[in-house]
Chains A and B, each alone.
Chain A
Amino acid sequence: MKKMNIVLLALLLGGCAQWGVEPWERDLLAKPAMQLVSDPLEAGLDDHIYFSKEASSGGASFGGGGCGCN
C-alpha cells in the first residue's frame, strides 16, 4: 500500500512538471470570463448575502492566472 502511494505521488509530481503554458499561450486565460473572480461586485454582494444568512464566510479568491503580462 505504501509503495502504491509513493508511486502515485511520484506520478502526480511528475505530472506536475507538465502543468503550465508558455507565456504566449495565455490567450484563453486572459479573457475576463477566465479570471478567478469574473465579477468582483457580484462576488462582494453574494458574500454579503451569504455571510448574513449562513455561518460560513470567505475562503475564496486570490491572485494568479490571467494574461501574465508585464
Chain B
Amino acid sequence: MGKYLKRQRLQCLGWVLLCGLQAGGLLYADSVPSNQTDAPGFTVDGRSGPVSLKDYRGKIVYLDFWASWCGPCRKSFPWMSQMQQRYGARGFVVIAMNLDKDKSLADKFLQQYKTNFVIGFDPQGVTPKAYQVEGMPSAVLIDGRGVIVSRHIGFNSTRQGDYEAAITAALAQQTVNLETSQ
C-alpha cells in the first residue's frame, strides 16, 4: 500500500473513532432511547455501594425515575414493592432512581416507605437526560438483553393493571428468548 492510501485509511479510521467516541460517550448521552433501542448504561451511588445497569444484564429491569417532591411517586412505591415481591424470583428487578438535588430529602422519604428494591441516587440528573425522561415519575422497562421494551410517564392507580401487564409480557418474552437461544 502506498504512503498516500495509508494516510487516507488512517484519517478515515480516525474519523470513525471520533464519531464512535462521540456517539458512545461515558453515559450514552447522545443516544435516542425509545422502544427497541439499547438502554443507556449508567453507574450511580446506591444505598450499599454503586448501582450499574450492566450488573442486571439478563434480568427484566423496571427503571423508575422518582423524587421526594413528586406526589404520584408516593403512590408508586407500595406498588413497586408489590411487583418486586411478586416477580423477583422470576428475574425481575426494580431500580428506583432518585433525582432529588438534596439527598437528605430522599433519605427522609425512604424512611417513611419500606422498600425491598434497589435505590439509585442521581442528583445531577445525568440518567434522566440520557433516557430523555419527559415527566415525573417515569418508568422504563428493560429486558434481559438491555433493550428498552416499554415506558410510561406518570403513575395512575387506575393503570396499575397495564403497568403490570407490561412486566409479565416482558418476562414471558424473556423466557422465549432464552429458549430460542439455546
Contacts and interface: CB of A to CB of B under 8 A. Distances in A.
A36 interface: no
A69 B134 contact: no
Interface residues of B, number: 24
A68 B128 contact: no
Contacts of B137: 69
B125 interface: yes
A68 B154 CA distance: 10
A31 to B, nearest CB: 7
Interface in A1-52: 22-27, 30-31
B76 to A, nearest CB: 10
Contacts of B135: 23, 68-70
A23 B69 contact: no
A26 B69 contact: yes
B29 to A, nearest CB: 14
Q: For chain A, what secondary structure do more than half of its interface residues adopt (helix, strand, loop), or is it mixed?
A: loop
Given A24-B128, A27-B101, A70 B154 contact: yes
Interface centre among A25, A31, A68, A69 (most CB of B within 10 A): A69
Contacts of A68: 135-136
A70 B156 contact: yes
B67 A24 contact: yes
Contact of A27 (B69, B133, B156): B69
Contacts of B91: none
Given A68-B135, A69-B137, A69-B154, A27 B128 contact: no
8 contacts: A26-B136, A30-B69, A30-B70, A31-B69, A67-B136, A69-B71, A69-B72, A70-B135
Interface of A: 22-27, 30-31, 67-70
Q: Give the top 10 A-B pairs by smallest Cβ distance, nearest first.
A: A70-B154, A30-B69, A24-B99, A70-B72, A27-B69, A24-B128, A69-B70, A69-B136, A23-B135, A69-B72
